[in-house]
Amino acid sequence: MKKIIEKLIETKERRAILIAGVVILLIGVAYRFYPAMRDIVFVGEEMTVKKQQLRKYRQVALDRDVLNKHVISLNRNLERLQTGLLEASSVSLAAVNIQNMLSEIAEKAGTDIEQARVLKAEETENKNYLNIAVQFMIRVHIDGLNQILYELESSPKYLTVDKLTITSHGKADIPELRVDMVVSGIMRKT
């Protein structure tokens, strides 16, 4: 075998041809087995990418659970807050509800509503709710006004005093007050 190799390498031409053949053979082998070698070489990188993707998916799953709990909490708060809205099938009925509440409050304070007027309902910024306002006028002493304002504030429905005008009449020591007030409540659009 040694003699055969020595005979093949005898001349420079043969040596160059033999070296070129070996190089071409090595290139052919590398080309043939490159996909298998690539998988072996790049497995580490692929594993790193897969681990990062898995970490990301786990974080998304954890975030989803947190977000679901937050949505449930917000829905509970929304339900609780909606109990303070006026419950009526129309704007007119909601205004009547406000007038009835105001009549009860005025009666507790020892006075009557002299005048009441329903103002035009307005959309809130949210566009899903309407602001229903009622303007009314009463004559009351300061203690009665204090009681009316307290009752409005502690009402189970969300009632706000949008406008309050007080004019004093009567004796200086116990004046009778003429109160012009706009009270509003919120109802869901139907």
Q: What is the mean pLDDT of the chain?
A: 84
Ranking 66-75, 80-89, 114-123 by mean pLDDT, the lowest is 80-89
Reported confidence tier of residue 39, pLDDT bands at 50, 70, 90: low
Distance CA 114, CA 106 (A): 10
Q: Is the dihedral of CA 104, 106, 109, 112 positive or negative?
A: negative
Give pLDDT, residue 1: 62
pLDDT in tens, 139-181: 998 889 999 999 999 888 889 999 999 988 767 677 788 999 9
Q: Which of 156, 143, 159 is nearest to 111 (CA)?
A: 143
Model confidence at 71, pLDDT cuts 50, 70, 90, reads very high
CB contact at 8 A, 14 and 8:
yes
Strand, coil or helix: 138: strand
* CB 86, CB 167: distance < 8 Å: no
Q: Which residue has the tokens 């009441």?
A: 116
Categorize the per-residue pLDDT at 46 as very low, low, confident or very high, splitting at 50, 70 and 90. confident
∠ CA 99-123-95, nearest 5°, is 10
Q: Which residues pair with 169 in a beta bridge?
A: 176
Q: What is the mean pLDDT of residues 5-15?
A: 66
Bridge partner list, 6: none
How far, in whole angstroms, is CA 119 from its chain's centroid? 32
Q: How far apart are CA 128 and CA 56, in angstroms?
A: 38
The distance from CA 159 to its chain's CA centroid, rounded to whole angstroms, is 25
pLDDT band at 138; cut points 50, 70, 90: very high
How far is residue 74 from each of residues 62, 70, 79, 80, measured CA to CA in Å? Answer: 19, 6, 9, 10
Amino acid occupying residue 74: L
* CATH architecture of the domain with residue range 91-188: 2-Layer Sandwich (3.30)
